[in-house]
Amino acid sequence: MDVEDDGQPGGPRDPAVAAALDRLRARDADAAEAAAAAWGWVAPDGDAARVHQRFVQDFVWYRLPVKWWTDRDEHLEIAAGLAGLFDELGMGRYAELCRSATTRTVIGAWHRDEKAGLLAYRKAVDSSGIDAPDTEVLVWGEVMTPEESDARDHVAITLERAIADGLLVPGGRGWRAQHRELTVAALSEQVPGHPGRQDWLGLVTTARMMRWIEQRRSPRRRELIGRWEAELLHPIHPPDEVARVVAPLRWLLAQAANGGVALTSQHNLSRLVVQAMSVAFGWWDTRRGTAPMREDDVLEVAVVHELAREQRWVRRQGRTLQATRTGAVVAADDVVAWRALAAAIAAPGGFEGFARECALLVLLDAEQVGRRELLVGLAELAAEAGWHDRMSGRGPTPEELGASVFPLLTVLETFGLHVERDVPREGRFDRLTDAGRATALEALRVRATGPQHRLLD
């Protein structure tokens, strides 16, 4: 059998593992050879006491079939050899996992095609119960800092212990809710040996913040962030005017949750809904006519509707707009709605997200900013951070920044977070309201501490 070495010259460093391999070798030399090669993948430091289920299932369900180039039968033989070593070590649960029907199914799926293998792998991991789920306090990223990876390992160990003790039964009634509760509890535990007595959630948040700060090599961006860095490390308090800020959003979502909102044949809000919102929030100037006739007549109404659809707080059922489960939650509470609004403002990735982020930083930095000054400054920031046209190599123009920033300003103004004023012979100026400043900080904190799903997200 041709297998890879475990990277531990002279054999495993753990005497118990070395002795177990000797016993296995005495009855099955091929199995011992396979187990020795696999051991370094499930026990990176070689210590049997540091092996956990997450490492084992990650190896037999993913790394073995994907990274060890051989046929299906040999993959199964390697898994069986590793099972034999676990038997010798008295680690029966891991031996069963290596021999399980699930392992055979996943390895077989990888040998059919990559898509089938990935699907089977994800299904097996989800059913195992030891993979840390997303919760209300933390959504895991696909691109993790070392601290986030350590926190996920800590949660996996906690969940594995709960399963072994019979406190969590994957697939049992109500297990998903308990799964999340155990995860939140594990994240609130203190990190062993941490000098600041930080919990795991705080460790992840701080690490994400530091990554975000240093993500783009822009001294000017770093300087702007530095003025708010201390505040961004802690939850931002909602503004005093939070009820007024989110009133239009909660109004539409409440209507959608309570029987639904009538739509036109073009899937716009009906005339009666547009008129009701315009009256409720003072969005119609009677000099334009007695009342708006359609959604396009009132920019603010269109903005709220579009935002709700983009964030999937509503869904269309025929000619009725219905609130989703998340939308109903947002509709029920001012602070929840405000944080959801800030998260929506922060949501875009890529260049648009960078432009929005820097626009908020610049607006926070001054009482008011000239529109042209804002766009020119953002173009300079973007060029400094490395954004450029692939064909010409030039940096973004102020006009290109405007295409990303103007929709942001429109959303901010709709919710009373931003005001603009025209000064004769001086131009247009932009300013955040007090509520806008708090919301801008919350949006920046979401960007800084949220999950990252790709490099330079």
Per-residue HEC secondary structure of the chain comes to CCCCCCCCCCCCCCHHHHHHHHHHHHHCHHHHHHHHHHHHHHCCCCCHHHCCHHHHHHHHHHHHHHHCCCCHHHHHHHHHHHHHHHHHCCCHHHHHHHHCHHHHHHHHHHHHCHHHHHHHHHHHHHHHCCCCCCCCCCCCCCCCCHHHHHHHHHHHHHHHHHHHCCCCCCCCCCHHHHHHHHHHHHHCCECCCCCCCCEHHHHHHHHHHHHHHCCCCCHHHHHHHHCCHHHHCCCCCCCCCHHHHHHHHHHHHHHHHCCCEEECCCCCECHHHHHHHHHHHCCCCHHHCCCCCCHHHCHHHHHHHHHHHHCCCEEEECCEEEECHHHHHHHCCHHHHHHHHHHHHHCCCHHHHHHHHHHHHHHHCCCCEEHHHHHHHHHHHHHHCCCCCCCCCCCCCHHHHHHHHHHHHHHHHHCCCEEEEEECCCEEEEEECHHHHHHHHHHHHHHHHCCCCCCCC
What does the pLDDT read at residue 349? Answer: 81
Whether 380 and 434 share a structural domain: yes
What does the pLDDT read at residue 9? Answer: 44
CA distances from 303 to 126, 267, 279, 343, 407 (A): 38, 14, 16, 16, 9
Contacts of 283 (CB under 8 A, 6+ apart): 277, 298, 300, 301
What does the pLDDT read at residue 287? Answer: 72
Whether 250 and 394 share a structural domain: yes
Whether 223 and 270 share a structural domain: yes
Residue at which a domain ends, from 136, 170, 203: 203
Whether 304 and 381 share a structural domain: yes
What does the pLDDT read at residue 7? Answer: 44
Number of Cβ within 10 Å of residue 132's Cβ equals 22
In DSSP terms, 431 is beta-bridged to 419
The answer to the question of residue 378 being in a domain is yes
Token code pair at residue 369:
């900013």
Q: Are 79 and 64 in contact (CB under 8 A)?
A: yes
Residue at which a domain ends, from 128, 155, 187: 128
The answer to the question of residue 211 being in a domain is no
What does the pLDDT read at residue 5? Answer: 44
Whether 123 and 43 share a structural domain: yes
Per DSSP bridges, beta strands 418-423 and 369-370 are: unpaired
Whether 178 and 223 share a structural domain: no
The answer to the question of residue 430 being in a domain is yes
Token code pair at residue 236:
């931002």
What does the pLDDT read at residue 385? Answer: 87
Whether 299 and 191 share a structural domain: no
Whether 36 and 182 share a structural domain: no
Residue ranges for the chain with pLDDT beneath 50? 1-10
Whether 115 and 237 share a structural domain: no
In DSSP terms, 321 is beta-bridged to 261, 316
> In total, how many domains does the chain have?
3
Report residue 361 CA to chain centroid gap: 22
Token code pair at residue 93:
């649960």
What does the pLDDT read at residue 83? Answer: 95
Whether 304 and 405 share a structural domain: yes
Whether 397 and 449 share a structural domain: yes
Whether 24 and 110 share a structural domain: yes
Token code pair at residue 189:
């535990």
The answer to the question of residue 101 being in a domain is yes
Q: Locate tokens 């089938």: which residue?
A: 116
The answer to the question of residue 374 being in a domain is yes
The answer to the question of residue 2 being in a domain is no
What does the pLDDT read at residue 216? Answer: 74
CA distances from 314 to 165, 254, 300 (A): 41, 10, 17
The answer to the question of residue 104 being in a domain is yes
Give the residue numbers spanning the domain of 197.
146-203
The answer to the question of residue 8 being in a domain is no
